[in-house]
Structure 1
Amino acid sequence: MTTLLVIAKQPLPGRVKTRLTPPFTPDQAAALAEAALADTLTAAARVPADRHVLVLDGEPGPWLPPGFQVVPQVAGGLDARLAAAFAACAGPALLIGMDTPQVTPARLAPALSWDAYDAWFGPAADGGFWALGLARPDPSLLLGVPMSRPDTGAVQYARLRKAGLRVGRLPVLRDVDTASDARQVAAAAPGTRFAARYAESTAATAGAVR
């Protein structure tokens, strides 16, 4: 049974996307986060996994589409929370975050095939990773990996390789962390909720974003 995991934080002002403020207000940053999460969940829902699970810090809202099981994140650092999400899966699992609204079902589909690979790795432009798939979920592959650093992705990838896993690579995607990231992602995915919300937010800030 294949599980598609989305790990996310409830998009509340002051709790999400704080690096977007300034130029955006906390309310605008939260609205951008909500749009990114909604786009991500919509794409994930269209991927033919056996289970779709939202691993959530907070409470679900109207942005949650049907078909998702919602489970709370455990306490601890991000490595521990990711490890716990995988530990709850009995079979192959693919985990993505909420910061890549440009993700599509076509980009995710290869990572549900386990014939040639034991793991899938989606590197992020900032040096992290936006996707991680494991044919046999093993929390020890994540525990202790330093998160939110420029070398996070390299360390995680090396951990997979050191374990002897055959690793397939997904395309490099840009996480939305800064205003520059938001501008580039909105331009790359013009038909998304995120792009529409970005346009509204930049108009409201009267051209403050460059």
Structure 2
Amino acid sequence: MPGPTTLLVIAKEPRPGRVKTRLGPAFTPRAAAALAAAALTDTLCAVLAAPARRRVLVLDGAPGPWLPREQPSDGPPFEIVPQVDGGLDERLAAAFACCAGPALVVGMDTPQITPALLAPATDPAAWHGCDAWFGPAADGGFWALGLADPDPELLRGVPMSTLATGAAQRARLTGAGLSVRDLPKLRDVDTPHDVEPVAAEAPGSRFAAELAALTGRVPRVNERKA
């Protein structure tokens, strides 16, 4: 049976020079794009394996070979919708605006996510007594945000890409009187210092394999959070 939650992935087409530019100069634009493509595929596969009412890829760019060919067992594959113009707050707000009923959005920077990590917000009891799910990121942002009743105004005007983004977004939720539950804290892939630790959290991922292919080094395996 499809889950009660719509799963959204907000992403940018992984083209050299357009994605993960902060990985330079440790990684060339082509290598950074290859890592981004692997991370995006890992993320999409995790979402395909999780129960969902709908699965929506909110994309800046065009689909490519990184789009998984696997078909989910509980419904259609990804709907692909274009991102709107504007800042990240406006783009996230627009993503939620296309949803009716509970929805959870994730980005393309956490290839270590699994269906088990998403389960609290996707299982049948996910929204019983809960208005929002919040996944904090180690850099002060957030990697996941879920809303039982998607209201774009809960995101508009929140300052994005700062050390205080996560705190500001969570405060917006609680300030609106919402009951918020937390998902585990994860590390985003933003800088060269993030690459190996994240790959170590997901040793069987495409991201880890791409890193090994690029560098010839296999990251030390960490215990992966479930």
Q: TM exceeds 0.5?
A: yes
Shift of 1:64: 1.3
CA distance in 2, matches of 1:203, 1:18: 21
Residue 183 of structure 1 aligns to a residue whose secondary structure is: helix
User: Could you say what secondary structure the match of 1:150 adopts?
Assistant: coil
Match of 2:81? 71
Q: Deviations over 1:40-90 (max 9, x none)?
A: 000000111010000000001122124100000000000000000001101
Letter aligned with residue 85 of structure 2:
A
Structure 2 unmatched ranges of 5 or more = 72-76, 218-226
1:136 aligned to 2:139? no
Please tell me whether residue 116 in structure 1 is matched to residue 129 in structure 2. Answer: yes
1:24 aligns with 2:27: yes
**AA of the residue aligned to 1:154:** A
State the partner residue of 2:52: 49
Counterpart selection for 1:86 from 93, 96, 113: 96
Give the deviation of 1:116 after TM superposition: 2.4
- Quick one: which of 105, 109, 120 aligns to 2:115? 105
2:160 partner SS? coil
CA contact (8 A) 2:34 2:210 kept: yes
Q: TM-score, normalised by structure 2?
A: 0.88
Residue correspondences, number:
204
Query: Counterpart amino acid of 1:102?
Result: Q
Could you state the TM-score of these two structures normalised by the residue count of structure 1?
Answer: 0.95
Unaligned runs of 5+ in 1: 205-210
